């Protein structure tokens, strides 16, 4: 569980001569154990915001705090990505196609030099929870989209992260699976009382899951409220 605070965060990218202000003076406090949504159209800055929190980008100016400890400030990461204990799932899931489900999920643990015995124990545990134990010897291309999404979730959760970032995690799922995927996300969040961030351009994801949500447009945070309030004041 972790409180996340952004203070006057700006992020600019230079594309040749063009300067893109992807985030403009963002101030947010995300509470311990909150399910927090980020809503906005394509190009609004949602992914950039998640990457700044994860440490994959630095804020050009401004600061990011986890539990009142500064993790990034003014273009410098003070705590690196690997030390932030964040699990991430992206729209494309990013599974390694040539590796088995087992080896995909083992990957972050092998990076951390866990023993193979510990890895096996943890993989059996997490694949039981997400109900994909019977797929562990298959490759991602041999299982369904819904199962691939669970594999991506397993890989994100295998290290017991304190923060879970879901960036458009349901976009590649058909409508029927989408509902059960949302239910699963809610279950995981409640089970581990993890601080969870979900990015979506689909309001239905936010309304069904988030305690509060930020609406971002052209890098500016236009609203920060409970989903129903946002719905009433679009
Ligand atoms: P969203 O996730 O809401 O679709 P992004 O955060 O991906 O938006 O992008 C916000 C803006 O920043 C866009 O104009 C995008 O082109 C730009 N941008 C994002 N990442 C980079 C990058 N690495 N280099 C240059 N421009 C970028
Ligand atoms: P989404 O719309 O799902 O947020 P994008 O396609 O905007 O995803 O971005 C995917 C990745 O490409 C991100 O890591 C982002 O930082 C990077 N990116 C986005 N726009 C640009 C850009 N103009 N130049 C370089 N990298 C970019």
pLDDT digits (tens, 9 = 90+) for 84-107: 999 999 888 889 999 999 999 999
Residue nearest to atom 1 of ligand 2 (CA): 47
- Residue identified by tokens 């969040």 is 189
Name the helix (H) or strand (E) containing 182. helix 175-192
Residue nearest to atom 10 of ligand 1 (CA): 45
Q: How far from 124 is each of 13, 54, 117, 118, 127, CA to CA, in Å? A: 42, 27, 11, 10, 5
Residue 233 near ligand 2, beta carbon < 6 Å: no
Give dist(CA 57, CA 43) in Å, integer: 16
In this prediction, residues 18-32 reach a mean pLDDT of 96
Tell which one of 47, 51, 216 to mutate to probe ligand 2, the residue whose CB is within 8 A of the most ligand atoms: 47
At 67, list the tokens: 């539990």
* pTM of the predicted structure, to 2 decimals: 0.87
pLDDT for residue 136 = 97
At 176, list the tokens: 């029927």
Residue nearest to atom 13 of ligand 1 (CA): 43
CB 230 within 8 A of CB 39: yes
Name the helix (H) or strand (E) containing 114. none
Of the CA atoms within 13 Å of residue 155, those in its CB half-sphere come to 28
Q: How confident is the model at residue 234 (pLDDT cuts 50, 70, 90)?
A: low
Decide the pairing of beta strands 76-77 and 61-66: unpaired
Q: How far from 97 is each of 43, 207, 220, CA to CA, in Å? A: 28, 33, 37
- Residue identified by tokens 């879970």 is 164
pLDDT digits (tens, 9 = 90+) for 163-186: 999 999 888 788 888 888 888 889
Closest CA to 106 of 152, 155, 164, 157: 155
> Looking at ligand 1, which atom is closest to the CA of residue 45?
6
Question: pLDDT averaged over the chain?
Answer: 93
3-state DSSP assignment of residue 82: helix
């Amino acid at each position: 569980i972790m409180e996340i605070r952004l203070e006057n965060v700006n992020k600019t990218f230079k594309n040749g001569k063009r300067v893109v202000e992807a985030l403009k003076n963002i101030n947010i406090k995300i509470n311990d154990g909150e399910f927090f949504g980020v809503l906005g159209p394509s190009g609004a800055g949602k992914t950039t915001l998640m990457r700044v929190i994860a440490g994959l980008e630095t804020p050009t100016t401004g600061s990011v705090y986890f539990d009142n400890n500064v993790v990034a400030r003014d273009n410098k990461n003070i705590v690196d990505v690997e030390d932030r204990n964040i699990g991430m799932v992206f729209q494309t899931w990013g599974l390694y196609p040539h590796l088995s489900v087992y080896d995909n999920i083992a990957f972050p643990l092998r990076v951390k030099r866990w023993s193979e015995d510990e890895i096996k124990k943890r993989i059996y545990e997490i694949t039981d929870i997400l109900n994909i134990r019977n797929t562990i010897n298959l490759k991602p291309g041999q299982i369904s989209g819904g199962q691939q999404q669970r594999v991506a979730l397993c890989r994100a959760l295998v290290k017991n992260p304190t923060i879970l970032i879901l960036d458009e995690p349901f976009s590649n799922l058909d409508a029927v699976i989408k509902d059960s995927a949302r239910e699963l996300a809610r279950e995981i969040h409640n089970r581990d009382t993890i601080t969870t961030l979900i990015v979506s351009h689909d309001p239905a994801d936010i309304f069904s899951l988030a305690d509060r949500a930020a609406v971002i447009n052209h890098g500016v945070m236009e609203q920060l409220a409970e989903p129903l309030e946002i719905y009433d004041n679009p």
